[in-house]
Amino acid sequence: MAGGAALALLAGCQKAAPKFQGSDISGTDIGSGLAMVDGSGKLRTLADYKGKVLVVFFGYTHCPDVCPTSMAELAQAMGLLKDEAKQVQVVMITVDPQRDTSKILNAYVKAFDPSFEGLTGTPEQLHKTAQSFRAYYAKAPGPTPEQYAMDHSSSFYIIDKQGQARVLLNGNATAKMIAGDIQQLL
């Protein structure tokens, strides 16, 4: 009887399973192939972000609408998290490495929040990383060869402190939704 009471007591102390606003992608290998270059030229992988909740977004600096809106929502989400935001790393991976140099991308993401990080790399690094996240991107011709756009998926990938993919949020998620899902992993 005492053993059963102890088990019941332990069960009561366990954390309830998270109820995410986004899709629960726990148990997938999404993002495991991340290998892109940060603003200082260092190759970054998922292992570099262990100990923090990682939020990944694919976009590009010349994006006229979706990317700046999404980055603004991420910045607002960090504001909602207050001090807990120190346990989170937001990363934007460019889908346009041809134009988004480390310097340009770094300036872009830091304009939204000084803690944000931009990752770029070779077309091959981008291809492998995007495949790992199952993210879509393609060049869309513009009026001139230099004025092209990039079609891309616009989701937020949330990875827990152990480096495991946990949540996939639609790119039009609100700051409150993003912060709520992040908070469950802190």
Question: What's the angle, vertex CA 142, arms to CA 141 and CA 146, rounded to 5?
Answer: 95
| 145 belongs to a structural domain | yes
Residue 8 located in a structural domain: no
Is 15 contained in some domain? Answer: no
Asked whether residue 6 is domain-assigned, the answer is: no
**Phi and psi at residue 51, to the nearest 5°:** 95, -10
Contact 74/112 with Cβ under 8 angstroms? yes
Cα 55 to Cα 125: distance, rounded to the nearest angstrom: 19
Contact (Cβ atoms closer than 8 angstroms) between residue 87 and residue 66: no
- Residue 97 inside a domain? The answer is yes
Digit-by-digit pLDDT tens for the chain (186 residues) are 455 444 444 445 556 677 898 999 999 999 999 999 999 999 999 999 999 999 999 999 999 889 999 999 999 999 999 999 999 999 999 999 999 999 999 999 999 999 999 999 999 999 999 999 999 999 999 888 888 999 999 999 999 999 999 999 998 899 999 999 999 999
Residue 122 lies in a domain: yes
Domain membership of residue 77 (yes or no) is yes
Q: Which parts are annotated binding residues for Cu cation?
A: 63, 67, 152
Rounded CA-CA distance 24/181 in Å is 10
User: Order of strands across the sheet with 53-59?
Assistant: 23-24, 165-170, 155-159, 53-59, 88-94, 117-119
C-beta of residue 154 within 8 angstroms of C-beta of residue 66: yes
Measured in whole angstroms, how far is the alpha carbon of residue 154 from the centre of its chain? 10
- In this prediction the pTM is 0.88
Tell me if 62 is assigned to some domain: yes
Q: How far apart are CA 122 and CA 100, in angstroms?
A: 11
Overall domain count for the chain: 1
Q: Which residue range forms the structural domain that includes residue 111?
A: 24-183
- CATH assignment at residue 150: 3.40.30.10
